[in-house]
Amino acid sequence: MKMLTAATSAALLMLSTSAQANWAVNIGPVYVAPDSSSSSLNVIEQVAELEPGSTALRVNDDVQLGITIDYKFNPNWAVQLIAATPFSHDIRVQGSAIDGLAVGNTKHLPPTLLGQYHFTQFGDRWQPFIGVGVNYTTFFDESIDPQLSGALNSLGVTTDADAVSLTLSDSWGLALQAGVNVQLTPQLGIHAMVSRMDISTTGRVRVNGETVQSVSVDIDPVVTMVGLRWQF
């Protein structure tokens, strides 16, 4: 929410100081569908006597309120900032006898800055565009699920007195985008886009501050948004 508020405040400030700027604000639901893959949980496999390489992690989908802010340099070229309220994802084991075991939960904010090219040959009403840019994803409020805590206890890795935690490292990556703006009135329209974001992180399960399991996770979500568009 802090990221969303900061982005909105920055946009309003720039609007007030540059009356000639070609700005637009798009607001609507953003759907994040991870295409996740990971390295195996080698330590857990060894302790639980599972087949080596038989486990991985999967991350579930989520929908949040998104806001994107555009600035057009000319009819063809623009930049866009994507922001949203924090996404929340459950993390589970995929594969082997412990398939579906709940590992934990995390929240993240994925602010993304893109350069866009708008195709103007279709007229003013329909403007398809493509974009490329950079994504920064910060993870926070990570928590261990009781299912994992119970499994670690039953395997003798931890006891009830141990502090078990989960951390995820932040990520920088490439973002690709395609979409269309549909103009309904001089100020109001519809904004639709789909993006592919490169999000890679390292997850660490820690017991009393010491890492007992480390795993590399590629989240790589497809991000879609359809919302209302206001031009200034």
Q: Is the pLDDT of residue 205 over 50?
A: yes
| Higher-scoring residue by pLDDT: 68, 2 | 68
**What pLDDT sits at residue 4?**
46
Q: Is the pLDDT of residue 151 over 60?
A: yes
Q: How many residues are given for the chain?
A: 232
Q: Is residue 52 a contact partner of residue 95, using CB atoms and an 8 Å limit?
A: no
Q: For residue 156, what pLDDT band results from cuts at 50, 70 and 90?
A: confident
Q: Is residue 190 a contact partner of residue 181, using CB atoms and an 8 Å limit?
A: yes
CATH top-level class of 2-231 = mainly beta
Q: For residue 209, what pLDDT band results from cuts at 50, 70 and 90?
A: very high
For range 209-217, the mean pLDDT: 94
Q: Is the pLDDT of residue 9 over 60?
A: no
For range 107-126, the mean pLDDT: 93
**What pLDDT sits at residue 17?**
41
Q: Which of these ranges, 8-12, 45-49, 165-169, has the smallest mean pLDDT?
A: 8-12
- The C-alpha R_g of the chain, in whole angstroms, comes to 21
Q: For residue 113, what pLDDT band results from cuts at 50, 70 and 90?
A: very high
Q: Domain locations in the chain?
A: 2-231
Q: Is the pLDDT of residue 110 over 90?
A: yes
Q: Under 8 Å CB-to-CB from 213, ≥6 apart: which residues?
A: 41, 42, 43, 44, 204, 205
Q: How far apart are CA 108 and CA 102, in angstroms?
A: 18
Q: Is the pLDDT of residue 144 over 70?
A: yes
Q: Under 8 Å CB-to-CB from 69, ≥6 apart: which residues?
A: 7, 8, 10, 11, 23, 24, 25, 26, 80, 81, 83
Query: Whose CA is closest to 129, among 194, 81, 83, 187?
Result: 194
Q: Is the pLDDT of residue 3 over 50?
A: no
Pair of tokens at residue 71: 């600035």
With pLDDT > 90 as the criterion, what percentage of the chain qualifies?
A: 81
Taking only the tens place, the pLDDT of each residue in 13-25 is: 444 444 444 999 9
56 to 45, 47, 103, 141, 196: CA distances (angstroms)? 10, 15, 11, 22, 22
Q: For residue 155, what pLDDT band results from cuts at 50, 70 and 90?
A: confident
**What pLDDT sits at residue 11?**
46
